Amino acid sequence: MKNNDDIWELRLYVAGKTPKSVTALKNLRQYCEEHLKDKYVIEVVDLLVHPQLAEGDQILAIPTLVKKVPEPIRKIIGDLSNEEKVLVGLNIRPAKKIE
């Protein structure tokens, strides 16, 4: 089902260096290294610097992780402390099972 050549484009929205944002980024890096080695790009958007970007991705909550590619678009909000949920949300878990 999933093409292995897919690159996971991930965007993490934060607002300054709050503890939650720092935790979220740390967790995200860890999961990606573990499950998506060399197949991911993480872009961190600080809304305090670029507030106009909040509208485009419909950001309400902070932190929010947006997976744009591969489809479908998914959003994961929170500090990403629950690994299971994050992996399901990023469509990593099912893809792994098929392999």
Per CB under 8 A, residues contacting other proteins are 13, 15, 20, 23-24, 47-48, 51-52, 54-55, 58-64, 72-82, 85-86, 88-89
- Residue 13 and residue 62 in contact, taking contact as beta carbons nearer than 8 Å: yes
- Residue 79 and residue 12 in contact, taking contact as beta carbons nearer than 8 Å: no
| Shortest distance (Å) from residue 33 CB to other proteins | 18
| Shortest distance (Å) from residue 30 CB to other proteins | 14
Q: Which is nearer to other proteins, 4 or 26 (CB)?
A: 26
Distance (Å, rounded) from C-alpha 92 to C-alpha 96? 6
Q: Which is nearer to other proteins, 5 or 66 (CB)?
A: 66
Distance (Å, rounded) from C-alpha 15 to C-alpha 61? 10
| Shortest distance (Å) from residue 96 CB to other proteins | 17
Distance (Å, rounded) from C-alpha 40 to C-alpha 17? 22
Q: Which is nearer to other proteins, 38 or 71 (CB)?
A: 71
